[in-house]
Structure 1
């Protein structure tokens, strides 16, 4: 690979990067993308996602602009709606009202139009029946504000975005990792990259950094997230090492956001250290609201039913990591086994099954057997069985008198067979990153923009603090990617 020059260089090849590249190309700029991974591992964390996308919609009339529905689906499925006010409330509530107000307004206000734009580029979407809808009285009802997912999940999304890039004449250079920015007189002029061990100089009128956070870097995780985070599994790519953040900070970019925070979930205890594309996101175990979780001491430690899964799963991984020996077991009885999500049916998982609770207790490796049985006895006595169980709403079926209460979806654990699944912490992405303007430009620590430098995706800080509403990552990547790409293309043309 020889040195080359391009108008807009996009560092990264996931969803945010692809949207940035396509938007920049629309301005007439010549565009290239750099992907640190080999082609078979392309797409960053986007490839490892389930593909859920949180978007403002006001009913079926909006949804049919994103995906096709049959007349039966329009009539018989309760898709609900998800307004901008609900989106804003969810963002504020789960981040303790720390989310950057301007970025949040951009995310929400442009979510629907950006997804329509993606569809115009050949990206396909579909209803998220498998993970975001329960059948109630014979009718599917969507819950938690999520009714849209990428067709084919993350791999399908990346595949279609890359096909769109190729169609638009955008080359993707694989195994080419950017290592530093080229800066002349305070203006970014390109990057120095390594392609299969060889240094390459790539000149550009504008650079868009969209190459992820630092979740795959154990040293940075420990430095910023804290002790034991070097022990966390990484759900996605091994290539998100914080390189884009570090090269921007090296020339004076302003750090922004929740640097000690991350998106982390319950993840199979024996999953590999990094994501496995053969399994995708199925090492996750997200039906915990239907059961209970116990730690090595045989004790519950969290309210499994505090809210819909969409609003708790991204913070409960950190809670699991803080438990003795960094693991927990999810416990279910036969009353809910048919409602467990698809990831509970794969072959590669840490699962035990028993006909009696006493037999199950003996199979829970690493758990205090007697305390577990005591926990189950106290749990069963505390469940408010007089309240009807309904997994499609916050049903208020909780517990009474427990040190750690459960707010919704509590069921006695007393009917075999019983199943249990061992989980640890699976880290998805980190929340700290770079400060950007409303045009996607990277701000410097002096308060001025760094000319020629733009950013999008996970390495942008300020949107998420402490927690995250499910399905927001891909949409924020797309919205901010399109924003940065459009800004970079216009900057390269001298229109800014």
Structure 2
């Protein structure tokens, strides 16, 4: 084992959180090495697969225009952009997590979100308005909704390409096919990382480590152990390399296990999606997120969630779990021609699986379901719809009465052919369990004291998301805590050097 390499900081992982940490530390003067477990053509972690939507607090459209200076006055005049304050963002996190999110961590994410997004822009990351998925056109103006109007240009691919380019520009070294397998300490302080490269192992001496290599969502055994046996059947939406390495290494040197280890971010995804993320088909192309405009039925022909409980931003991360509970882990999203033109763009891709027929009877004949109950459920739903004004840009209160579960918004009868059925299953994105960090990104031990030289960011941070999360918050959390951890690691190294030489 070689033992002659030294870095101020070793960043484990090479996704959004990891590269934000590396760039932040390098800007502060640290000598940085990034370890990517996968080969170069599979770099970028889960961030590579995201559709790029990123949630941050802003006061008005002028705040957003600072991030995209090419947005013209003429274009801006056609935009209706509700304010999304830090209070709104914090409130959304607490609401969807049932007030379980650790307040200081949620506050750090929220309060640093705009500053961090501006910093990302300074690094070269480009942003654009998320017209197709977060706005509706009405009388020539685009009405944005849900607090998520911005995405990275060219989705996750664009984000990661820019961050990798910036890292190389700053002189950050990146090793591929390099799996960190052990953290070593001396006198309670991080002193080195053991890295496995094919059959060889290398000891990298370092003063600090940022763990940003994802959670355990791609580890079938850990999913079964911590979330439940049924999760062995879940599709892994992102990289196959997020198998809990960072968590295992941190816990082995005394890190505090933290957050909802039995919970995860999961969604309804195309039933025929790849079993793990396909790097040849990047982007979040298999999700199926127009379900608030649908009714969802299982094989028994029964509805099982309130599809219109809230905007999809606030329900999609928990409804994957509900689909997984259904017989054979499958459900069907049902639409008619009234709403078909309003569906998100992923429904129009060639990869989308769907069935189409001119009548409901013809449609159900194509499905492996209890056909009689399927038609009865749709009929009962149609008869239960109350009068009201249908408006998909707001929670319109157009609901059902007398059926269980109710649909509390956007209830339209399924009555105008042709009719469509999109089969979906559960895809896991990331698990919510992690390690305990403070607002400096320092990893804490079981006595809530920092482990000297150890930091974490991204999915490895436990305690923010429980049961659910506001859409776009994972990408923002990765950037915020990545930037924080990198800056903190650089300060730690500087202070350690100063104390050693003084």
TM-score class, shorter-chain normalisation, is over 0.9
Query: 1:282 corresponds to which residue?
Result: 285
Counterpart CA distance in 2 for 1:23 and 1:101 is 25
Query: 2:407 corresponds to which residue?
Result: 406
Note if contact 1:431-1:461 (Cα within 8 Å) is conserved in structure 2. yes
Note if contact 1:136-1:392 (Cα within 8 Å) is conserved in structure 2. no
Per-residue displacement from partner, 1:109-133 (whole Å, max 9, x unpaired)? Answer: 1100011011101111111111111
Counterpart CA distance in 2 for 1:456 and 1:223 is 23
Query: 2:142 corresponds to which residue?
Result: 140
Per-residue displacement from partner, 1:361-403 (whole Å, max 9, x unpaired)? Answer: 11122x110100101111111112x211111100111111102
> Of the candidates 165, 168, 177, which is equivalent to residue 166 of structure 1?
168
Q: CA deviation at 1:2?
A: 6.3
What secondary structure sits across from 1:228 in the alignment? helix
1:22 aligns with 2:23: yes
Q: How many residues align?
A: 494
Counterpart CA distance in 2 for 1:403 and 1:147 is 33
Query: 2:471 corresponds to which residue?
Result: 470
Counterpart CA distance in 1 for 2:380 and 2:439 is 53
Per-residue displacement from partner, 1:438-490 (whole Å, max 9, x unpaired)? Answer: 21111011322111100000011010001000000011100000110000011
Counterpart CA distance in 2 for 1:2 and 1:375 is 66
Note if contact 1:320-1:326 (Cα within 8 Å) is conserved in structure 2. yes
Counterpart CA distance in 1 for 2:417 and 2:299 is 22
Counterpart CA distance in 2 for 1:486 and 1:383 is 54
Q: CA deviation at 1:253?
A: 0.4
Q: CA deviation at 1:188?
A: 1.0
> Of the candidates 311, 314, 318, which is equivalent to residue 311 of structure 1?
314
1:339 aligns with 2:342: yes
Gaps of 5+ in 1: none
What secondary structure sits across from 1:438 in the alignment? coil
> Of the candidates 322, 325, 334, which is equivalent to residue 322 of structure 1?
325
Counterpart CA distance in 2 for 1:395 and 1:197 is 59
Query: 1:244 corresponds to which residue?
Result: 246
Query: 1:235 corresponds to which residue?
Result: 237
> Of the candidates 378, 381, 392, which is equivalent to residue 380 of structure 2?
378
Per-residue displacement from partner, 1:62-96 (whole Å, max 9, x unpaired)? Answer: 01111131111211111221011111110000000
Counterpart CA distance in 2 for 1:358 and 1:178 is 56
Over the residues paired in the alignment, what is the CA RMSD in angstroms?
1.2
Counterpart CA distance in 2 for 1:268 and 1:202 is 42
Query: 1:195 corresponds to which residue?
Result: 197
Distance 1:279 1:484, change over 3 A: closer
> Of the candidates 53, 77, 80, which is equivalent to residue 78 of structure 1?
80
Counterpart CA distance in 2 for 1:465 and 1:228 is 19
TM-score for both structures, normalised by structure 1: 0.98
Note if contact 2:48-2:282 (Cα within 8 Å) is conserved in structure 1. no
**Where do 1:423-442 residues align within 5 Å?**
423-442=424-443
Query: 2:461 corresponds to which residue?
Result: 460
Per-residue displacement from partner, 1:320-351 (whole Å, max 9, x unpaired)? Answer: 00111111000000001101101101112321
Counterpart CA distance in 2 for 1:352 and 1:441 is 50
TM-score for both structures, normalised by structure 2: 0.97
Q: CA deviation at 1:142?
A: 0.6
Q: CA deviation at 1:279?
A: 4.7
Note if contact 2:435-2:460 (Cα within 8 Å) is conserved in structure 1. yes
Distance 1:2 1:281, change over 3 A: farther
1:350 aligns with 2:353: yes
Note if contact 2:2-2:201 (Cα within 8 Å) is conserved in structure 1. no
Gaps of 5+ in 2: none
Query: 1:43 corresponds to which residue?
Result: 44
Distance 1:417 1:279, change over 3 A: farther
Structure 1 runs of 4+ with >2 Å offset: none
1:12 aligns with 2:4: no
Query: 2:392 corresponds to which residue?
Result: 391
